[in-house]
Structure 1
């Protein structure tokens, strides 16, 4: 009896390559090919609306969670989700000025890639009250200081540098190559080196607490 070999169709070959890419991404990290490297100051928040941002709040109307009032971004904190930049970025200094109206939780996700979900692949600069400066790895990301620990958190170095609840804090996140440094009100709080992911979207979390944000700025890094 004559036998025939089963030739892979283009769709099957593509599916195979997709699976290989997904496996490789999970091991080596995901890099955003078209990520923008800022050459000048970029205001990500225009003080009027959320132009340039994608609102992701699964199962709810995002406008009930995120809004702009009197030139300030207001987030109710519920349900869980985030706003993220439409564009992807690499090699930048990100400055976020925000405050809690009462003690609570939020965060900034950098180098976010892949599908929108709670929570997407990224590295989190923790925003929880009294914990700003911690790192969290999400979705398979990692870095040298994390070292493959079971705990996804890498605590800040030293005591909290946050201002009292109700006052504005300045969070500076400097991403250069495979290194991320976190500054709270001018104080270096933490550093991640040899990061698996070095580019992607930037997200601000809705994570259970009411927050306000008045500035989100990108600048070049030397």
Structure 2
């Protein structure tokens, strides 16, 4: 009986610790833990920072274009993002496994983008990295045109384009990166699953890519063998 109680207590403690592993990646007050990479800010002194905190939410103003990148490197995690377009629908994205900066168009870091573009949420865009999905040619185009840099087919279509909520409402995106696999859910629907990714770890980045987007949650939970 003592053994059973001890075992149950251990499981309880483990479960409790796992629940406590979720951490918010922004503190609702400033951009601690992140750094801004906006090329225009290098040369034009009065360029605004397109990433701000407003009413406790992280906001990507959309312009000038660039990225907000975590200082830390992550692997084997579940990322939860709650976002909405505040005005006209447009473009934004979450980049995972980010590393070398400005490898594409002198702006985009080496990474795998999980698209948030209105009505395309969950597409993969590869940026000097790569990933495979089922029905690859159907979802990416002719194999001879694939690539991960300028001029190549870098977009891999998601499985459904009807998972987003109406404009102005909050969407919940979950990106699970485990080993060389990436799974994406939008509002509870599994919208993409990729494997054999060429990267397994890296920084996480948020885009400023033309449209204003609010984020009320960006939180990460580590995944380990006990929580699989």
Runs of 4+ displaced beyond 6 Å: none
> Who is 2:14 aligned against?
none
Give the Cα–Cα distance (whole angstroms) in 2 for the partners of residues 128 and 79 of structure 1: 17
Give the Cα–Cα distance (whole angstroms) in 2 for the partners of residues 50 and 75 of structure 1: 12
**Pairwise CA distance, 1:196:** 0.4
**Pairwise CA distance, 1:189:** 0.1
> Who is 2:98 aligned against?
112
Cα displacement string for residues 106-150 of structure 1 (whole angstroms, at most 9, x for unaligned residues): 0000000113551111000001000001001002x1122257624
Q: Any stretches of 5+ residues in structure 2 without a counterpart?
A: 1-19, 138-142, 147-151
Give the Cα–Cα distance (whole angstroms) in 2 for the partners of residues 194 and 216 of structure 1: 26
> Who is 2:126 aligned against?
137
Give the Cα–Cα distance (whole angstroms) in 1 for the partners of residues 163 and 212 of structure 2: 20
> Who is 2:161 aligned against?
159
Give the Cα–Cα distance (whole angstroms) in 1 for the partners of residues 73 and 47 of structure 2: 21
Give the Cα–Cα distance (whole angstroms) in 1 for the partners of residues 169 and 84 of structure 2: 6
The TM-score with structure 2 as length reference comes to 0.76
> Who is 1:87 aligned against?
72
How many residues get paired?
184
Give the Cα–Cα distance (whole angstroms) in 2 for the partners of residues 206 and 189 of structure 1: 23
Secondary structure of 1:200's counterpart equals: strand
Cα displacement string for residues 66-96 of structure 1 (whole angstroms, at most 9, x for unaligned residues): 1111101122101110101000000000011
1:210 to 209, 212, 216: 212
RMSD, aligned α-carbons: 1.9
Secondary structure of 2:84's counterpart equals: strand
**Pairwise CA distance, 1:43:** 1.1
> Who is 2:117 aligned against?
128
Give the Cα–Cα distance (whole angstroms) in 2 for the partners of residues 205 and 163 of structure 1: 20
Give the Cα–Cα distance (whole angstroms) in 2 for the partners of residues 144 and 69 of structure 1: 38
Q: Any stretches of 5+ residues in structure 1 without a counterpart?
A: 1-38
**Pairwise CA distance, 1:64:** 3.4
> Who is 2:85 aligned against?
100
The TM-score with structure 1 as length reference comes to 0.78
- How has the CA–CA distance of structure 1 residues 57 and 114 changed in structure 2, closer, same or farther, with 3 Å as cutoff? same
